[in-house]
């Protein structure tokens, strides 16, 4: 038993070394899954393409894809011997971990690709991530985002009536710890599925850092079934329809179409599509929504990558929405949100209002492995109808409006106080040029951007700022 535990610690240690350098390149999208361009490729599909998958995960004594498996195995065995014989510490296995020795090896290989969007999921993780929720899940009711450069996890939305709201979590809070595990740099999808979600009625202990007050806030949050509708809509004043699209799921396009039809029946004269804080999801949903809004034969999006055919998607459903349209975006609008925004903007079918979008212009595919595990791989860039690749650039708004600072930490921004929403309504009522000129006149001086200090969590109570030795 001791020998087996030593092996697990050894292999895990190898992966941790890779993780340290990968922390600065982690995903910055919401807990939504991002773009799943390829869908799920099964072992049978891979076999049909001529790839041998019959021995996936089995030992191999030769070279594959530039790796000398025999040489690597020999070196790792020797390293393991040295670790078991001389390594001072006897670290216990992480509580609740489903990772085997082999899982750490596969995960380490994926981290070596230096791509924050490509990862390995063992069978248990993959089953958890693909679990059918039908718009409901047993969680706490927050939407979080992870910074691509720092690994910091930030709350971007707290659902009304949720356990998170009852516990006092606010938008803008940093997720510092889940139980005793520091959250920064952890895989966001796994953190949510394996540590924050859980059995109904149980609690999860969270430590949030609130930058506005400089305080750590600890709380026990009850897990409950939380309904997360992806589409909400209403008719605003002056016949302006409003649709809030919080994520792109398989049901989102049908929900969106239902909302548009209902608003049209009410005499809609203009439409605002709110994609703020929408980190993406199923790209097909974005394509279907763009198709419903655009006239036929308009280019929606194109993909070009490695190992996948180039593809271009056009609108062809015979339906369009011929009223003034405004798309509301911010820095958390990413992935599929940018597909939809780019399609409407480049076809001159909508005015984009708000802040520059995130800039995730690449697509991933899920490849199922014979043992129930899976790889998520970046497979292609996507391009807006104008031919632009927006990766790490984003989409600039036609009318730039920053949300008022005092509104950023509110669980729900009152529509009558939402300056971005007001600007979107004015664009429909007054025209893009008039609104832009007024906003520029109101801003007499443009603040020059200054270099931001590197963020770091301050010490918790009882801690000091003294340097820790390298681990």
Q: What are the catalytic residues? A: 335, 346, 360
The CA distance from 219 to 203, in Å, is 10
DSSP of 162-202: SHHHHHT--TT-EEEEETTEE-TTS-HHHHIIIIIS-STT-
Residue 144 makes CB contacts below 8 A (sequence gap 6+) with 30, 31, 153, 154, 155, 156, 175, 188, 192
Instruction: Please provide the DSSP assignment of 53-93 as one string.
Output: -TTTTS--SSEETTEEHHHHHHHHHHHHHHHHHH----PPP
- Quote the CA–CA distance of 302 and 314 in Å, as a whole number: 9
**What's the 3-state SS for 85-145?**
HHCCCCCCCCCCCCCCHHHHHHHHHHHCCCCCCCEEECHHHHHHHCCCCCCEEEECCEEEE
CA-CA distance, 144 to 27, in Å (whole number)?
Answer: 11
Q: Who contacts 218 (Cβ-Cβ below 8 Å, separation ≥6)?
A: 205, 206, 207, 208
Element housing 22 (H / E): helix 2-22
């Amino acid at each position: 038993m001791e020998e087996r535990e030593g092996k697990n610690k050894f292999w895990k240690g190898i992966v941790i070394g890779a993780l340290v350098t990968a922390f600065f390149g982690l995903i910055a999208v919401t807990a939504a899954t991002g773009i799943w361009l390829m869908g799920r490729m099964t072992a049978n599909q891979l076999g049909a393409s001529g790839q041998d998958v019959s021995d996936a995960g089995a030992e191999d004594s030769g070279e594959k894809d530039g790796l000398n498996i025999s040489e690597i195995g020999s070196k790792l065995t020797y390293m393991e011997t040295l670790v078991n014989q001389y390594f001072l510490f006897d670290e216990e296995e992480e509580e609740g971990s489903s990772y085997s020795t082999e899982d750490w090896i596969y995960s380490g290989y994926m981290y070596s690709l230096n791509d924050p969007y490509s990862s390995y999921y063992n069978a248990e993780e993959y089953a958890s991530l693909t679990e059918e929720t039908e718009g409901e899940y047993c969680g706490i009711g927050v939407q979080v985002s992870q910074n691509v450069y720092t690994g910091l996890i930030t709350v971007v939305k707290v659902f009304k009536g949720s356990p998170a709201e009852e516990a006092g979590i606010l938008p803008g809070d940093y997720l510092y710890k889940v139980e005793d595990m520091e959250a920064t740099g952890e895989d966001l999808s796994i953190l949510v599925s394996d540590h924050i979600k859980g059995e109904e009625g149980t609690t999860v202990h969270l430590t949030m850092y609130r930058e506005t007050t400089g305080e750590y806030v600890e709380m026990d949050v009850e897990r409950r079934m939380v309904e997360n509708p992806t589409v909400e809509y209403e008719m605003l004043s002056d016949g302006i329809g409003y649709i809030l699209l919080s994520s792109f799921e398989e049901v989102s396009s049908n929900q969106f179409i239902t909302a548009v039809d209902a608003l049209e029946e009410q005499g809609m004269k203009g439409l605002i599509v709110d994609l703020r804080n929408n980190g993406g999801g199923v790209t097909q949903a974005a394509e279907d929504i763009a198709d419903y809004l655009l006239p036929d034969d308009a280019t929606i999006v194109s993909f070009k990558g490695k190992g996948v055919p180039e593809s271009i998607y056009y609108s062809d459903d015979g339906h369009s929405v011929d009223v003034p349209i405004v798309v509301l975006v911010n820095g958390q609008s990413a992935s599929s949100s940018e597909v939809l925004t780019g399609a409407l903007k480049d076809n001159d079918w909508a005015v984009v209002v708000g802040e520059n979008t995130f800039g995730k212009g690449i697509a991933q595919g899920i490849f199922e492995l014979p043992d129930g595990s899976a790889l998520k791989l970046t497979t292609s860039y996507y391009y807006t109808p104008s031919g632009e690749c927006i990766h790490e650039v984003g989409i600039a708004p036609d009318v730039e409006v920053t949300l008022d600072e005092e509104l950023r930490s509110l669980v729900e921004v009152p529509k009558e106080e939402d300056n971005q929403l007001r600007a979107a309504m004015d664009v429909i009522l007054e025209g893009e040029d008039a609104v832009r000129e007024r906003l520029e006149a109101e801003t007499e001086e443009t603040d020059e951007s200054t270099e931001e200090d590197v963020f770091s969590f301050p010490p918790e109570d009882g801690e000091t700022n003294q340097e820790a030795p390298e681990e």
